[in-house]
Structure 1
């Protein structure tokens, strides 16, 4: 599937101007840019646009979305679950407002202000944002990542994505080997270097922690295994060997 920016705008209801803005900010890079500068989007771009719009619904800024999506361990499924919960709260509030209007239409004049209360929705928004801040905000890794990523151009973000996908593909292509194999261990070194180069200094201690999360945290495991079933455990095993040296 290949769609022009106008076709994506028509399909999604997002303006062409907004799509161009997301491209300039490096959060939605077209899968292809022709010689005459036409932008083309594929299915992966549309999936990413879904994620961006969900995060915008939670009032995350563009800079915050950049950092979230740049996190190698970003958990899309968990993010969607939180978004679903928030939308259910909004639906409940709308149902109460509709019921209140129905009562008024029927002539009932009870002064009920509870349906206008946004407290629960706002608390859940802040809770989600706080979880992200707690995970990143007070860490050296967060500050390093913020300093590095704030000025990345769309071209740099595209290069980062392509490099990460190439490393994942390398792991997938070598899953038939032992995790201690030199080729696999070299891929771990590449992954560590990738994180250090583009985000923050990925020490062996930090890398070891990431490796444990890849296999023990179901959210991360699900994301990584989208590349190939069992990849998360394979990477975790390889990282454990690499960091024990």
Structure 2
């Protein structure tokens, strides 16, 4: 589609689309010899995502950082944007109730407290941006890699040993004695080399193994379904340890 057609379809001005191209936020897949920008379906999907981010209060600079992050996942972003929009709707519903009460208060139909007059307002730093930054920011991607890299090959070898051991058990029950002993080795290894992990933090880490496709992909290299098995085994380990 040409830029004018995209503008008519989406309601985004041609000038804005040119600006997105100029700053490297949304570059068309093709430009004709005559200089016409041609947008693909993939470009349109990216534009849709940009507009969702804009609706949630993200700056263009922040959107570009997220879209170009190695950790970024389009499908995950859509799912998170849906969650954020639901949260925003709740806030807007609260503000609508506040303004309705304010109108009634002005008519003398009810009395509002000062606290009620400001219910629904939130001037804190964009919570959606913070969540997205934590999820896809470069620091979040690199943190675990850097932590592993600072240790010698002995630590990596020990990690691999535990992974391979768990992989052999992944088709058994996560609550079996063998699985619990193996996952206990993982818990001890983490606490010995990567700081202090409480039982709850250990359980949360297991959840991340499945929720974050980057972790899942790395762990499942040792055996399909290993990340899911480890998550379940870690949850059992925590419950038994309480």
If you compute each CA radius of gyration, which structure gives the higher value, 1 or 2? 2
Normalising to structure 1: TM-score of the pair?
0.49
TM-score (norm 2): 0.50
Higher relative contact order (CA closer than 8 Å, sequence separation 6+): 1
